[in-house]
Each structure stands twice: as C-alpha cells, then as structure tokens.
Structure 1
C-alpha cells in the first residue's frame, strides 16, 4: 500500500502539462486496488475540474444511466475505478467542445495506475480516445456495434456528451441491443 500511496501522491502532484492547461493542473481520477470495473474516458470536463469529481456533469448522468448505476454505485472506489486518458481538464477546442486529452499524460501514468488494479474484470472504453489508446485508430461506431468481440475484457462505448443523443437517434440498436448487455456485463464483473 505504501507504493500505491506514493504513486497517487506523485500523480496528484504532476505538473508536466501545467503551461498548456488553461485552468492549471488538477488530476482527477478514482482508484482503489479492489476495483473490478474501470471507466476509461478521455479527460475531465470543466465542471469536473471545478468540483474535483470525475463525471460530475450531464455526461456523467448519461453514462450512469447507460450503466444502470446510481451515483453511490458509480462513485464507490471499492468497485469502480475512473481513469481518463488525460487526468486534467485540457481546455476548449476551436470546435466548441473540449480539447483532446493531453498526449503526455497516458504514457506517463496510465500503465502504472492500471497496474494497481489487480482485481480488474471489465474496462469500459468510453469514447474514441480511450478506444484508440487500446486498439489503435478506428471507427468508434463500428467498435460499439461489435462490442461482443472485445468481451470479456473491454466494452467500447460512445462518449456520453450531449452529442451522443444525436448519435443514439442515428443508431437505435445501441439502446435496444447494447445497453442491456452492458448492464449485465457490469453486474457480472462486479459479482466475480
């Protein structure tokens, strides 16, 4: 446990990208060595930066709804780890959404932190950045459609931003076919 506490202190004190982060560094994640489920996302949003709580916004509400989770279940670090590709809010992009995750973060911290999750059973790859990190570049929609190919280790999902409502209208199979299996796989991973 001393090595884990030391690693977490090192991560929380990270300043590698400080000059490139508009609101400054504030690593946001949730991690416990007992976690069986990992939510791998892209980067904290501005509301999460303000609160220090991952997914403390409408995208978090949508993700918890997809998972069939209450806030208490989602924020229980004994069962759920939340580890984005970049741990700090990256700022806004010219397109109006958030900027991509800072590229320095995942190579610096990700494998070391995942190495502290010996009970991990299932990883939700939330959005294209998380999926591309694991699988290499590829189409997010096709990965979500072919989710069974990645089980039992990974479950690819779209990012739950407001744009996902438009995506879900274009892809009604997600709600009818994918979400029930997602909820079942999560419950099974936590029961193992």
Structure 2
C-alpha cells in the first residue's frame, strides 16, 4: 500500500512540474520589463522587485523593494540590463568591493564599467510551478565568467551584489543571498 501511495504522489508531482521548452532564447529583450527577485528560502527577499535609486552622478543603485523606485522600463541589450534613458544606463559590476564576503556592487551607470552580462532562460516558479522567463548571470564583462547575483543587507535595506564562482567568503553580519531574477513584462 505504501508503495502505491508513493507512486501516486510521485506521479502527481511529476504531472504538475513545469516543462522547460528546448532551444536558446535571445539575449535581447526590447520591450520594457521589471525584475522580480525569487529565493523561496528567504521570505524577506522572495517575490520582491529590483528597484532603482538615484545615487548621484547619474548612477542608479539597485535595491530590493520597497527601497528605491519601482521600474518597469528595463530592457536587455546583448545580455546587459539597460535603462533606455538618454544616455542609457547599463548594469555593471564595479566598486564597493568587500573583502569580508568577496562581493562587489551591482548598479546602473552610463560609464564604461565592467558590464553584468546575462543569458535569458526558462525556469519554473517555486510557488506556482508556472513557466517563467529568467535572467541567469553569465559573466562580468568578458573577463570573469560565472558567479552569482544576490542581495545583502545594507542600512535596513537590501542592495544587489555579485560574488565570483567558487567563493567561500561569508559575512554573518551581512549575509549574501543568491537570487533568481524573473522577467515581468510591462506589455
């Protein structure tokens, strides 16, 4: 009887699992979108949104909602998150490096700082199991491949950081939490 129940539960789970379509998605999204942040293990972060904050000098710093200003006008150009302003701001990984947890700030700028480059992939929503479009981190410009994008506590808010692949550094006072970035279309 237990074996039958286990097979029935296993069948039900596999029947509801979302199916990932084959093929490669374009790394350019020209229609405006926002980015939902997912990590179901951390309710303080899960299902919040990436917001921007004018930090001065034309830079937009990235914070987890409710901090900062909501945006639904992001685009993805050749794998780089872009605010299509004049001049455009692009997501980069540079500055405010922290030795203690081996993370570097992710923010938007018009300068030529090392870009944060992403691939567009399909994934499954951890709450609903629905198919969703995600940005998977690919590289810091062309010099450093892999690593993780995540958030970290910052003055009562969460800012966005990058850490290289294989890092074991950890700061218990400001823990870095890896996140999934989900494209939410504005159209």
Same fold per superposition (TM over 0.5): no
More helix by share: 1
More strand by share: 2
TM-score (norm 1): 0.28
Higher relative contact order (CA 8 A, sep 6+): 1
**Larger Cα Rg: Structure 1 or Structure 2?**
2
TM-score (norm 2): 0.28
